[in-house]
Structure 1
Amino acid sequence: LAQAGCLSGEQTLINLHIDPAEHLRGAKLSSLTQAVAYAGIKARREPVTRKATENNIKQITTAAQQVFSFCPTPAEIWKSIRHKDFSRQVKNFLWKSIHGAHRIGSFWTHIPECRERATCNFCNETEDLEHVLIKCRRPGQTQIWSLAKDLWLRKHQTWPEPSLGGVLGCGLATFKNEKGKNSPGLARLFRILVSESIFVIWKIRNDTVISRDGEPVPENMIHNKWLQAINLRLMFDRILTNHAKYGKQNSIKSSLVLQTWSSTLLNEELLPGDWINQPRVLVGIEPKSSHPPSQPSGRRGRGR
């Protein structure tokens, strides 16, 4: 039949018109999945731009240019906050932070009976995210950034001074070693230190404002909370090197863990080269006691 059609000298017109009653549009319900339907709805919606989001993206872009010497696209920035080196809590915190979705600062100015919550009761300034993470003079953020800097300088020569764009864009971190090549371990340590630090600062702020009614958290507690968070990350890294238990997708290479934490450990000179399975491996900052050292009591002599 096909050969006969080719050899025929006559041109056959085929009616391709579709009857409107039979012209079906959209998706077939019997084969439609929730994922396909949701993707279709998202594709039809116009993206809504928020002023706070745009400002934060600009700050992250500027900080990345200054600290990491490259200009990320917005897509790269959004991808960076889902980095596998971040915990789920940190990922959620970063997403809300970039969107300006935390209930702080100007959020409360639109509620007459809660307007006083917009101001930091310690500094008497608007308590936006930059104030909480970088500028607040209440005990917390300054001490934590000092601890992070101390640990970082054990491994690298310079510490980038924290800025709002820099800490929100810490997932973009890239650093080079002495040979000028990218250092995955160095970049990973930076991501862990900065992300865990900002989340500890945020939790301490909430504890101060909500649970302690504005009374600052003692400095020894701040010190120990940060140290606990970093030591937990070190412990999880060591545990996740078990490929047999956690599989290829969820486990971490031992070599990457060693690269990440080398030069930052307590009494590292006494540890073997591969300390992954050694007990009580901690970062090289000591905890602070919650009680002042007791004074030896003098012995009274018997009177004559």
Structure 2
Amino acid sequence: MSFESEESKKLGGIKLSTLTQRLAYAGIKEQKAALSRKATDNNIKQIQAAIMLQFGKLPAPAKIWANVRHKDFTRQVRNFMWKSIHSAHRIGTFWKHIPECEDRGICQFCNEPEDLEHIVLKCRRPGQKEIWALAKELWLKKHPSWPVLSLGSILGCGLTTFRNNNGQPLVGASRLYRILISESLFMIWKIRNNSVIKREGAAVPAHEIHNKWLYAINLRLNFDRALTNHAKFGKQNSIKTPLVLQTWSSTLMEEDKLPENWIRAPRVLVGTEQQSSHHPSPPPGRRGRNR
């Protein structure tokens, strides 16, 4: 005699007697897809709220997705942004239901759930704090105020448009901000992976973080300079010289000694020095320019 009820013979509305492996797999995929859609919707709402707070405009989801492919982002950054909004990185809750891997969802440095917001803005492991300080320091050479960062504002940085007191767009500053935020975000991710995977949890030294970020930003600067060569890259892929000059003006080392058009000048670098392994960290409150 069987004491199994009809309810116990059902799984998600399907009788166990008729459940096949294919149907079970389809049901699991559908459940995962629903969870994924919910996470994506939450991220879109975070971006909308952040942009509304920062600029007073509510971007439509379609505009958010379009700006993930912003031309000011590198291909790697575009892919990273897309996966971030879809919560598709193998971090945090991704590991929650994988046997013997649950601890991978916890930040071993902070002993807290390691979601993207934690990695990018909250983690005490050397990386995010140092990189945002560098980005802020460079930005304050260009613009008088550094916005309050949130995961939504970072993922939505492609929607950024700064304006002057007359309401006119600051094209160069807005472009620099998009580059700084997107490159810093991706560098934080790479530093985290370097620490967790390659170094088995050991922190990346501060001078190495500093120099990696500086290298990435100078790479973007020099890439911009190269792309002003219309003959080489063509109209579609090249960048106009005035836009590059507007983007990087006020951020360069010894800029007062450079020609007005420094695109072809030798040794043009952003105004932050590299650090050696023995370079002391600056005292608290000395980074950046408050103006």
Question: Is TM-score (shorter-chain normalized) higher than 0.5?
Answer: yes
Question: SS at the partner of 2:101?
Answer: helix
- Please state if 1:96 is matched with 2:96: no
Letter in 2 for 1:115: E
TM superposition shift of 1:161: 1.8
CA contact (8 A) 2:214 2:272 kept: yes
TM superposition shift of 1:179: 3.7
Question: SS at the partner of 1:101?
Answer: coil
Equivalent pairs, count:
247
**CA-to-aligned-CA distance 1:237-269 (integer Å, 9 cap, x gap):** 000000111010000000000000000000001
Partner of 1:65 in structure 2?
52
Alpha-carbon separation, structure 1, partners of 2:225 and 2:73: 16
Partner of 2:132 in structure 1?
145
Question: SS at the partner of 1:50?
Answer: helix
TM superposition shift of 1:177: 2.6
**CA-to-aligned-CA distance 1:57-109 (integer Å, 9 cap, x gap):** 00000000111221100000000010000000000000000000000000001
Residue among 238, 243, 260 paired with 2:225: 238
Partner of 1:15 in structure 2?
none
Residue among 109, 113, 122 paired with 1:126: 113
- Please state if 1:176 is matched with 2:163: yes
Question: SS at the partner of 1:110?
Answer: coil
Partner of 1:79 in structure 2?
66
- Which of structures 1 and 2 has the bigger CA Rg? 1
Q: 1:254 to 1:178 in 2, by over 3 A?
A: farther
TM superposition shift of 1:227: 0.4
Letter in 2 for 1:130: E
Letter in 1 for 2:113: T
Alpha-carbon separation, structure 2, partners of 1:197 and 1:250: 24
Alpha-carbon separation, structure 2, partners of 1:220 and 1:124: 25
Alpha-carbon separation, structure 2, partners of 1:227 and 1:179: 33
1:220-299 correspondence runs (5 A): 220-291=207-278
CA contact (8 A) 2:211 2:275 kept: yes
Partner of 2:40 in structure 1?
53
Residue among 191, 197, 204 paired with 1:210: 197
Letter in 2 for 1:117: R
Alpha-carbon separation, structure 1, partners of 2:109 and 2:64: 33
TM superposition shift of 1:292: 5.7
TM superposition shift of 1:180: 2.6
Letter in 2 for 1:220: H
Question: SS at the partner of 1:217?
Answer: coil
**CA-to-aligned-CA distance 1:169-213 (integer Å, 9 cap, x gap):** 000000113443011111100000000000000000001000000
Partner of 1:197 in structure 2?
184
Letter in 2 for 1:145: W
* Unmatched runs of 5 consecutive residues or more in structure 1: 1-46, 294-304
Using structure 1 for the length normalisation, give the TM-score: 0.79
Give the ranges of 4+ consecutive aligned residues of structure 1 lying more than 2 Å apart after TM superposition: 177-180, 290-293
Q: 1:292 to 1:80 in 2, by over 3 A?
A: closer
TM superposition shift of 1:291: 4.3
Between 178-187 and 205-214, report the one with greater CA deviation: 178-187
**CA-to-aligned-CA distance 1:120-174 (integer Å, 9 cap, x gap):** 0011000000000111011000000000000001111111122100100000000
Partner of 1:44 in structure 2?
none
Query: Which protein has greater RCO, CA pairs closer than 8 Å, 6+ apart?
Result: 2
Partner of 1:7 in structure 2?
none
1:110-125 correspondence runs (5 A): 110-125=97-112
Alpha-carbon separation, structure 2, partners of 1:254 and 1:270: 19
